[in-house]
């Protein structure tokens, strides 16, 4: 949810910078020097906002969760084990579950 809000703020900031929309005048305040710099250096500031927000969004979205389900039955959870299974181990687990289901 926070990552989604950050996306909206990022897009609005970029639109305001590219459209020369002074959001501080709309709020009845004087524009700070960093906002003047952003509107003067549009390309650099938009690229900077884009990449910084993407880095923060990536950290917010990345949970480290990795789960495998077979027929709606969880067979592996990285959150429970603390690691990702090795391929032979995963194949053995899936084979055992399929044999039990048969």
pLDDT of residue 1: 66
Distance CA(53)–CA(9), nearest Å, equals 9
Model pLDDT for residues 8-67, shown as the tens digit of each residue: 999 999 999 999 999 899 889 999 999 999 999 999 999 999 999 999 888 877 767 778
pTM above 0.85, yes or no: no
* Domain boundaries defined on the chain: 2-61, 67-101
Q: Judge contact between 56 and 48, C-beta under 8 A.
A: no
């Amino acid at each position: 949810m926070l990552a989604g809000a950050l996306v909206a703020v990022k897009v609005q900031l970029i639109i305001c910078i590219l459209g020369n929309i002074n959001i501080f005048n709309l709020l009845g305040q004087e524009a700070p020097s960093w906002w003047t710099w952003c509107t003067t250096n549009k390309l650099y500031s938009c690229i900077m906002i884009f990449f910084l927000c993407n880095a923060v969004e990536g950290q917010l979205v990345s949970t480290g969760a990795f789960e495998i389900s077979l027929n709606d039955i969880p067979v592996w959870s990285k959150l429970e084990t603390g690691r990702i299974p090795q391929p032979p181990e995963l194949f053995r687990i899936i084979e055992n579950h399929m044999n039990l289901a048969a």
